[in-house]
Amino acid sequence: MAVKLAVIGVGKDFLIPVIDSVSFTVEVGDFVCLLGPNGCGKTTLLRILGGIEPATRGTVLLDGRPVVADQRHERQVGIVFQEDRLLPWMSLRDNVALVLKPLGLDREARHARAMHYLRLAGLQGFEAYYPGRVSGGMRQRAAIARALAIEPDMLLMDEPFGALDAQNRRIMQNEVRRIWHETGRTILFVTHSIEEAAAIGTTLIMLSARPCRVRELIQNDGSVERARLVDDLNTMIMQEVQRQQGDPR
């Protein structure tokens, strides 16, 4: 399989090193979950991969071309944030259609594509609603539809279901899994929930406590029983939390 994303020795300092040095590769069509204890730098790493923030050191290659913050490159990356970040004064359809403007599509094509991806995200019939009139889960679906609509080379998701209740979370996990199957996109999904990662990821990357390193890379191909896997990951995350607390720094 071809390599989609290569992360080579990426690090970030905010006065102290937050991310030490992280290296891994993501193959085309992978569903990678980035796991780690709270505050280990998962979000920062995702922002570097998405080209929102510059790395202090290291390189990120998307399809072999470097991702540099604040520098335009022709590769498209769709990002779903922790918050939905929809414009409250635009209907769900217009929210999705807005991000298609830079792609140079005409008005009709933008609307058609927005409708298509909203339907894919299970929002048929709600296209004309304002974000404030639908539930949190539906807003997050719209945010996913928006990220998919630009037909990105890669989809980055930063704890997109963090604000949802357990039931909606489960539903959305299944939805993302389904969308991944239907679109075949490469997805990088940040979460601090082990159950979530084990349920949806094909590759799990466990990050260490700050300063962040890759602690373990696990293929979630069903060779290890789900319950075992969750147990092992729980043990690892507890070790990391303890290490962080015991750290004299």
Partner 1 sequence: MSARDWARRLHLPTLAALAAVLVAWTLLSRRYGAYVLPAPSSIVTGLADIVWSGDIWKHTAASLSRIVIGFGLAVVTSLLMGLGAFISPLIRVVVHDVLAILNSTSVFVWIVIALIWFGLSDWAPIFTTFMITLPVVASNLVEGVASVDRQLLEMGDVYRLSGRQKFTAIVIPSTLPYLVAGMKVGFGLALKVSVVAEIFGVTSGIGYIMNYSREILATQMVFVWALVMILIMGATDKLLFDPVARRLTRWR
Q: Which residues bind partner 1 (CB under 8 A)?
A: 50, 52, 72, 77, 79, 81, 83, 85, 87-90, 98-99, 101-102, 130-132, 146, 150
Residue 245, number of CB atoms within 10 A of its CB: 8
Nearer to partner 1, 132 or 184 (CB): 132
In the complex, minimum distance from the CB of residue 132 to partner 1, in angstroms, rounded to a whole number: 6
In the complex, minimum distance from the CB of residue 211 to partner 1, in angstroms, rounded to a whole number: 25
Tokens of 201: 């990821």
Question: Helix 107-120 crosses helix 136-149 at what angle (to 10 degrees)?
Answer: 130
In the complex, minimum distance from the CB of residue 50 to partner 1, in angstroms, rounded to a whole number: 7
Distance of CA 176 to the CA centre of its chain: 11
Instruction: Give the largest CA-CA distance in the chain.
Output: 60
Nearer to partner 1, 101 or 119 (CB): 101
Nearer to partner 1, 134 or 230 (CB): 134
In the complex, minimum distance from the CB of residue 80 to partner 1, in angstroms, rounded to a whole number: 10
Nearer to partner 1, 103 or 217 (CB): 103
Non-local (6+) Cβ contacts of 245 within 8 A are none
Q: How far apart are CA 144 and CA 149, in angstroms?
A: 8
